Amino acid sequence: MIKRTLKNVWSPQRRNRRDVDVYLPASYASGVRYPVVYLQDGQNLSDPATAFAGTWDLDATRDRLAWRGLDAIYVGIHNTRSRLAEYSPFPDPRHGGGDADAYLAFLVETLKPRIDRMFNTRRDRDATTIAGSSMGGLVSLYAYFRYPSVFGRTATMSPSIWFGQGLILDFIRQATVPRGRVYLDVGTGEGMGTVRDVRRLGRLLVRKGFRRRRSSMAQASRPASAALRYVEDAGGRHNEAAWASRLEGALAFLLE
């Protein structure tokens, strides 16, 4: 597998810079165009030297997915000192924030076009996934509904529904249901408040028309619709190790 780092990528929307890691599949030289997965907290994906508290073990996960015929380009977007603000769609009375629209404009208007120019990507929404955990899960969920013409799939792992007093739920209630796939999970060891919030989100998505179904190759051939895979990880905690253990299942569902 090949990793390339784009150093100090400038965001005119946020007026800041960040590194972006691009992981290419071993088959990349073949000239095939690949689906793309955009991941928040990119420094936590594979390198223990840059990870905050352990990695998502992305290298091993993408190798196993490749053996299953599920190759993709992974784009790890490093966070900045403004992580909380950039990952929050709505301000929180205690923590502030609420700059997700500008951050997502950077992804959609600046970063994605650059990735599409530089690499052999599939550019359609059905081949474009956005993913993250905690606050990164919150902004990824928001992006799926905010930019339905760009992101056709999302992995929302242990999302911080509480931030902004749960206004993300009101936003989704009023949103049009985009076709595509949503992977949603939570660990039962994250605390009852978190589990309760994520369960509420899962029920809301079902009421909005998302069909809960298991991941299988047979389903991949069906017409695109609003599909949901919901996972509760028994004993799973709010940390990188837990998200790493669930990453393969999430990506398998989204890339099939």
Which domains does the chain carry? 2-255 (3.40.50.1820)
CA distance 65 to 248: 7
pLDDT at position 212: 87
Cβ contacts of residue 92 below 8 Å, gap of 6+? Answer: 98, 163, 164, 165
pLDDT at position 222: 45
CA distance 223 to 217: 13
pLDDT at position 13: 97
Query: How do the pLDDT tens digits run along the chain, 256 residues long?
Result: 689 999 999 999 999 999 999 999 998 987 899 999 999 999 999 988 888 778 999 999 999 999 999 999 999 999 999 999 999 999 999 999 999 999 999 999 999 999 999 999 999 999 999 999 999 999 999 999 999 999 999 999 999 999 999 999 999 999 999 999 999 999 999 999 999 999 999 999 999 999 986 543 334 444 458 999 999 999 999 999 999 999 999 999 999 9
Note whether 200 and 161 are within 8 A (CB). Answer: yes
